[in-house]
Amino acid sequence: MRANLKDRRVKPSESDLNTVDREICAREPIQIPGAIQPHGALVVLRPADMTVIQASRNAFDYFGEGVTVGKAADGLLGSIVPRLAEWHRSVEPVMQVHIADTLQVTAHRSGPSIVVEVEHTPPGQLEGLFSKLRGFAQLLTAKPDIAGSLDVSARIIADLTGFDRVLAYRFDAEWNGHVVAEAGNGALPSYLDLRFPAGDIPAQARALYASNRLRIIPDAAYAAVPIEPATNPDTAGPLDLSQAQLRSVSPVHLEYMRNMGTAASMSVSILVDGRLWGLISCHSAHPHSVPVTIRDACDFIVQSLAMRIAALVHAEDGASRVALSRISGRLLASMSGSFGWVDGLVAIADDLLDQVGASGAAIVTEDRYLTAGDVPDEDQVRGIVEWLKTRDDQEIVSTASLSQQYGEAEDFAAQASGLLAVRISELYPSWLLWFRPEVVRTVQWGGDPHKVVHESGRIHPRKSFDAWREQVRLHARPWTPAELSAARDLRGAIVGIVLRKAEELAELSSELKRSNKELEAFSYSVSHDLRAPFRHIVGFAQLLRDRETGLDPKSQHYLQTISDSALAAGRLVDDLLNFSQLGRTALNRKPVDMNKLVAEVVKSVTIRLEGRAIEWSIDRLPPAYGDATLLRQVWFNLIENAVKYTRPRNPAHIAISGEAGHEQMTYRVVDNGVGFDMTYSGKLFGVFQRLQRAEDFEGTGIGLALVRRIVERHNGSITATGEVDRGASFVFALPSDIKKGRAIA
C-alpha cells in the first residue's frame, strides 16, 4: 500500500517539509523498475519480425530453448508466434493463452514492443469457480447499499484467493483512505476503520492503479529478476512495465509490507466513472500465490462491484439531490411564513443542518442570537462573527479548518473546525453560520492497537493512522461544492425574502408617512378653523346679553345654554387637538421635580374651587425623567378628576404619593369620590369613554385617554382601581433615569 518514503522524525505539522518529502516520493519511477518478481518470466518481442529484444534472466526456466536476445522467438515461445502476430494486428489490449498444460501466457503492448509474461498454472483452477461467481452475483444484487456490496466482495475474494485478510478501502475527495469493509481468517489483525493520509499512496501510484487494475506480490521477500538488456533497443529507453503483472515493486512498498507483518499482497482497483474510487487489498502472513485464473476472477468480481457502486452512487446522488431540493423547499416555505427568515430557519433546525450537512448552526443578527445543533458558546460564536467582519470578502466564507485562519477556534475545534458562513445583509449584517466538528474527534480506529503486534520499522499502518490523525487534526470534513452551492442558494433565498420584506415595509412606511401627513394637515386646519365658530357663538351670545338688558329669565337661560354648549364643544376640540398633537410632538426628556409640578397643579385647580372642603395629603415624590409639560398634563388631569369626582364628599380626601424603584418610579392619586365599577375599568382610558352621566360630571371623555397616551409615550404604564361610592385610585409608573436609554417610545 505504501509508496511514500518519509522521514517520520519530521513533525508532520511542518507541512513544508512534508510537501518536499512527498514530491521526492512522487518522482520515484515505479513504472520502470527494470526487473520483475520471480513468480514468472518476461520476454519482449519486436512485432515486425518477432525477434526477442529483451528477456528476464529466468526466461529459460519457463520457455526453455528458443528465447535468445537478438534472435527470433523459437521453441515453446515460437509456437505461439502466429497467434501473437494475429492478436497484435487486432485492437485487443491483452492476449491470454494456455500452453504446455501448465503455463499461462499473457501478452500486452508496451510502446512499440510486445511484452509476453508467463506463469505456472496449477491444474483444476476452474473447479467450482463459476458457481461461486454466480452466488456472488446474486448476493451483490441483493445488497441495497455500498457497505454491503463491499462486504460481499471482500468475502468472496478472501474465499477464492485464500488470503488471510481482505480489506476494502475507500478514498475521500482528498485521497485520504478509509478501510470500510474487511474479511479474513483472523491470522492478521483487523484494520477495519483504519485511516491513512493521502500521501501514503502518491499520485503516480494512483495513476498506475487506475490503468492496471490488479497487482500481486506473492512473496515480499522476493529477489527481483532483472530484465536484460536494461535498455529497450527499439526505444533506447527503459521498458515501461506499468501494464505488466510481474512488475517489480518499490522497495519502500516492500518495507511497508514487511513492517505490517504481511508476506504476500494483492490489490485490485475499484474504478467508478473512471476515477479510482477505492481498492480491494489482500494480505497474508506468509508467502501466498494466486493463479492467473483466480486473479482474473477477482478482477471480474471487483469490476462487477464497481458497476454496482457506480449505480448506487448515482442513485444516492439523485436521491440526495431530491432530498436536498425538498429540504430547500421546506426551508423556503418556512422562511416565507409569518415568522420571518430567522425564526423560519430555526423552526426546522434539522433541515437547516441537513441543507449543508452541518452538525450545528447559528444565526446572528443585530438583535437576535439563535442556534441549532452542536455549536460553540455564544461568546465564541460572536467572536467568529467579529473575525468575519474584519474580512472584506464575500458573501460566503468556508473553511474546513477554522483554526488555521482564526487561532481562537482551536478552543472549540470539537464543535467548529469546519465553518460555512453566509452574510445576509450589507447594511445591518446578519450571519448564518454552519459548523462541523473536528474529524478526529468523530473517528477512532476500530482496530485494537494492542493486537498489531507485527508492526515495526519506520512505516506501517499505525503510523499512517497517526499521520492521518495529525493531518486532519483541527480539520473538519471539507465542504463539498454541492454543499457550498446549497448554502449559496439558501443565502439567495434569504436575501430575496429580506428584500421583499424590506420593500413591503418601505411601501407601508411611505403610505404611513403620507397618511400621517394628511392627518397632520387635517389636524392643523381643524385646530384653526374648528375653534373659531365656537368662539364666535360664545362671543356674540355674550354681546347680545350685554345689549339686551331686559331679557326674561327663559330667554336668558336659552342664551346661557347656547354659550355653555359652544364652550363645551370648544373644550372638546381643544382636548382632541391636545390628544392628537401628543402623537406628533417629540418628547423633551429631562429630570423633572414632580413635587413642584404637583404643587403648581394643586394650586391652579384649587383656585377655582369655592366652598369645597378638600383634605389634601401630598407626600414627597421621587423625581421623574420625562417631558415636564406633558407630565404636568398627567397630574392636572388626574388631580382635576379627583377633585371633580369627590364633589359630593364633605370633606373630600385626595392623597398623592410616590415611590422610587430601581427601574421605575411609581406615582399614585387616591380619592374618596364616587369611584367606578371595576367591570368597566377597561373603558376608563378609552377616548370618549365616560363612566358617569354628563349632567352629573362634566367632561369630554378624553382626559384619561390623554393621560394614558402621555404615560405610554414615556414607556410607562397606568392602572386604575375603584369601587362605586368608595373612591378611585390611579397609579402610574415611569421608567427611571437608569432605564432611559431603553425607554425610547
Partner 1 sequence: MPEIRPILLVEDNPRDLELTLAALEKCQLANEIVIARDGAEAIDYLFARGIHAERPAGDPTVVLLDLKLPKVDGLEVLDTVKKHAGLRHVPIVMLTSSREEQDLVRSYELGVNAFVVKPVEFNEFFKAIQDLGVFWALLNEPPPGLRSQNAI
Residue 654 near partner 1 by CB under 8 A = no
Closest approach of Cβ 562 to partner 1, in Å? Answer: 12
Please check whether residue 256 is in contact with residue 71, taking contact to mean a CB–CB distance below 8 angstroms: no
Locate 331 and state its grid cell.
426551508
CB of 580 to partner 1, least distance (A): 11
Angle at 128 between CA 126 and CA 130, to 5 degrees: 80
Give me the least distance between CB of 728 and partner 1, in Å please.
Answer: 29
With CB under 8 A as the contact rule, the residue among 25, 541, 621, 670 that binds partner 1 is 541
What is the total count of residues that contact partner 1 (CB under 8 A)? Answer: 24
Paired sense of beta strands 94-99 and 51-56, if any = unpaired
- Shortest Cβ 549–partner 1 spacing (Å): 16
- 229 three-class SS: coil
**Cβ burial 108-121 (10 Å sphere, 16+ → b, else e):** bbbeebbbbbbbeb
Give the contacts of 458 (CB within 8 A, at least 6 positions apart): 8, 255, 259
Candidate residues 368, 451, 514, 535; the one interacting with partner 1 per rule CB under 8 A: 535
CB nearer partner 1, residue 15 or residue 542? 542
Phi-psi map region of 333: left, alpha, beta (phi>0 left; psi -120 to 50 alpha): alpha
Residue 303: helix, strand or coil by DSSP? helix
CA 68 remoteness from chain centre: 68
Burial code of 273-286, b = ≥16 C-beta within 10 A, e = fewer?
A: eeebbbbbbbbbbe
Interacting stretch for partner 1, rule CB under 8 A, among 209-217, 431-439, 535-543, 660-668?
535-543
Q: How far is the CB of 532 from partner 1 (least distance, A)?
A: 5
Return the H-helix or E-strand segment holding 284: strand 275-284
Return the range that interacts with partner 1 (CB under 8 A); candidates 65-73, 133-141, 486-494, 530-538. 530-538
Q: Give me 465's grid cell.
A: 493512522
d(CA 66, CA 63): 7
Contact flag: residue 539 with partner 1 (CB under 8 A): yes
CB of 528 to partner 1, least distance (A): 4
Please name the residues in contact with 636: beta carbons below 8 A apart, sequence gap of 6 or more. Answer: 601, 604, 605
| Minimum gap (Å) between residue 543 Cβ and partner 1 | 6
Q: Does 529 bind partner 1 (CB under 8 A)?
A: yes
CB of 378 to partner 1, least distance (A): 46
Q: What is the CA radius of gyration of the chain?
A: 47
The grid cell for 347 is: 423552526
What residues between 131 and 160 interact with partner 1 by CB under 8 A? Answer: none
652-660 and 664-671 strand pairing: antiparallel
**Under rule CB under 8 A, which residues in 542-601 are in contact with partner 1?**
542-543, 563, 566-567, 570-571, 574, 577, 581, 585
Comparison of 166 and 541: residue with beta carbon closer to partner 1: 541
Whose Cβ is closer to partner 1: residue 228's or residue 574's?
574
Indicate whether 699 belongs to the interface with partner 1 (CB under 8 A): no
Q: Is 300 in the site for partner 1 (CB under 8 A)?
A: no
Per-position x/- string for 471-510, each x denoting binding to partner 1 as judged by CB under 8 A, each - no binding: ----------------------------------------
User: What is the C-alpha to C-alpha distance for residues 543 and 461, in angstroms, rounded to an integer?
Assistant: 116
Bridging pattern class, strands 214-217 and 195-196: unpaired
- How far is residue 218's CA from residue 353's CA, in Å, rounded to a whole number? 49
Of 24, 210, 506, 532, which one interacts with partner 1 (CB under 8 A)?
Answer: 532
Choose the stretch contacting partner 1; rule: CB under 8 A; options: 183-191, 237-245, 358-366, 537-545: 537-545
Cα(534)–Cα(575) distance, integer angstroms: 14
Site for partner 1 in 61-120 (CB under 8 A): none
Which segment (331-339, 434-442, 528-536, 704-712) binds partner 1 by CB under 8 A? 528-536
Q: How far apart are CA 670 and CA 703, in angstroms?
A: 17
Residue of 57, 178, 382, 531 interacting with partner 1 (CB under 8 A): 531
- Tell me how far, at minimum, the Cβ of 698 lies from partner 1, in Å: 14
Q: How far is the CB of 539 from partner 1 (least distance, A)?
A: 4
Find the binder of partner 1 among 527, 580, 657, 681 (CB under 8 A): 527
Q: Does 528 bind partner 1 (CB under 8 A)?
A: yes
Q: How far is the CB of 742 from partner 1 (least distance, A)?
A: 27
Q: For residue 420, with 0-12 CB atoms within 10 Å meaning exposed, 13-18 middle and 19 or more buried, which class applies?
A: buried
Options 201, 538, 638, 705; binder of partner 1; rule CB under 8 A: 538
List phi, psi (to 5°) of 480: -80, 160
Q: Do the beta carbons of residue 220 and residue 250 sit within 8 Å?
A: no
At residue 738, the 3 state secondary structure works out as helix
Report CA dihedral (253, 256, 262, 265) to the nearest 10 degrees. Answer: -20
**By CB under 8 A, is residue 451 in contact with partner 1?**
no
Task: Spell out, one character per residue from 18 to 37, where the chain touches partner 1: x when CB under 8 A holds, - when not.
Answer: --------------------
Q: Considering the complex, state which of residue 133 and residue 572 has its C-beta at the smaller distance from partner 1.
A: 572
The CB-of-520 to partner 1 minimum distance in angstroms stands at: 9
Among 87, 431, 534, 667, binds partner 1 (CB under 8 A): 534
Contacts with partner 1 by CB under 8 A lie at 524, 527-529, 531-532, 534-536, 538-543, 563, 566-567, 570-571, 574, 577, 581, 585
